Amino acid sequence: MKHDGIRKTLFLSHVGVALVSLIVITILVNAAVYLSFGGYVRNQQKAEAEAIVQELSTAYSNKEGWPKSVLMAISHRAMLQNFVVRITDSDNRRIWDSSTMNGHMPGLETGGEPVSGSLKSEYQVPIKKEGVFIGTVWLGSTTGIYHDQEKSFLLRVNVWIWLAFIAVMIGVYGFSKRLSSQISRPLLQIKKAANRMTEGDLQARVRLENGQSEIRAVGDALNHLAESLLKQKKLRKTMTADIAHELRTPVATVRSHIEAFQDGIWEPSPDKLEICHLQVMQLAHLIHDLEKLAEAENPMIHLQKEKINLIPIIHEAQRTVQELEVKKQIHYIPPMQEKVILTGDYRRLLQIFINLLSNAYKYTPEKGTVQVKVTEESEHATIMIQDTGLGILPDELPFIFERFYRGEKSRNRKLGGAGIGLAVVKALVEAHGGSISAESIVQVGTVITVRLPKF
């Protein structure tokens, strides 16, 4: 408990709950016992006093008062039951006391001591003989309502309550220690894995077989984060290599030509200058693509949104890349709808579908098919661009929307592009509040699905 804040917090919270509960239970139990037991004792006193009154009323004589045998019997009962009986006359003066066994009996002697208030929990009952008030019986105790046996009983009750309190405290400690261990153990595993990831070990994983579902969810989320970071790390390395390759080839070509011109090996003929120009333009296109990606991924990107018909935008994108369709004799199937209204930026949406259709044509062999399907829901429009192209390998499919990712390198370099187009498309779709996904089967084709909100 010296290192774990969770363990200490749980223990203190459990002790607090147990302590408050036991205090409340102790108060209620004591109150119930004292009230119930006190009522029982008082009822016993009342019944005893009424029995004594009945006995004294029967045995009373106007001339002699009460026979000593009756008083002795009452005194004996009082001694056995540990209470005191006092008798007062009609003037409320004490004439007999079981605790002293003396007094002044009416008709024998006159006078008497005024009754004192020394009895505790006393109970009084008037004595009548043939309807005439002759005195009062006072029944009580000099030590209170409870006698030694009753006090012993109440003491045992309180002892058992304290023993229960100690047992509960021990149980609370054991329970909180076990519970905190169950909670802290997986959290410590998560902490160790997170520390390893912080130090650069992205292979670290959290393995939780048991435990609370919430903690397992945290562990799974951390594992997912590690997987994502590892993939991003691999993508960054691939991206660096791709950018280096894209830059190396044109720069090396231009450099070799310029050095040849400088050394007089070649004459700066139009053909040689054209080669240099093409390589420089390739660099310019790469820089332009990077600018488009930076613009699309800018969180402050400002969309000129308006109510527009999506179908003409798709037609315009198709006309822009129609050269690829004609060159490869690809069969294009347009959407069936004539009007699908949504809120968006015309220029950005056109850029999205130009990129998607261009990719579909590039990776579809001659005489293949490219089809665009549009479906409407109450709040969304779904656009599917389907081709019968080369397809994408399953292990490459999750990365196709990452910047500079181009799948199988030799194939993609033949087809051109720096792997930026789909990253730009994803950024623009998400800027509209939509989503994009892909499904593909190698040598069968690919389906790109774009889901855009209508409002």
Q: What is the dihedral of CA 172, 174, 180, 181, to 10 degrees?
A: -170
Tokens encoding 444: 């069968």
Pairwise CA distance, residues 110 & 275, whole Å: 150
Q: What is the distance between the alpha carbons of residues 447 and 427, in angstroms, rounded to a whole number?
A: 19
Which fold, 213-295?
Helix Hairpins (1.10.287)
| pLDDT for residue 115 | 47
Cα separation, 34 vs 31, whole angstroms: 5
Contact criterion met (CB below 8 Å) for 189 and 196: no
| The pLDDT of residue 437 | 94
**Which residues are registered as beta bridge partners of 136?**
88, 126
CA atoms within 13 A on the CB side of 260: 14
Is the pTM higher than 0.75?
no
Distance CA(91)–CA(87), nearest Å, equals: 11
Q: Judge residue 238's burial from the number of C-beta atoms within 10 Å of its C-beta, 0-12 exposed, 13-18 middle, 19 or more buried.
A: middle
pLDDT score of 440: 93
pLDDT for 315 equals 95
* Closest to 239 (Cα-Cα) out of 404, 396, 400, 397: 404
The string of pLDDT tens digits covering residues 309-339 is 999 999 999 999 988 888 889 999 999 999 9
Q: Domain 300-453: which topology? A: Heat Shock Protein 90 (3.30.565)
CATH number of 5-149: 3.30.450.20
Q: Are 207 and 193 in contact (CB under 8 A)?
A: no
Contact 85, 93 (CB under 8 A): no
Domain definitions of the chain by residue range: 5-149, 213-295, 300-453
> What pLDDT, on a 0 to 100 scale, did the predictor assign at position 110?
38
Q: What pLDDT score was predicted for residue 18? A: 78
Please list the ranges in the chain whose pLDDT falls under 50: 1-3, 103-112, 114-117, 409-414
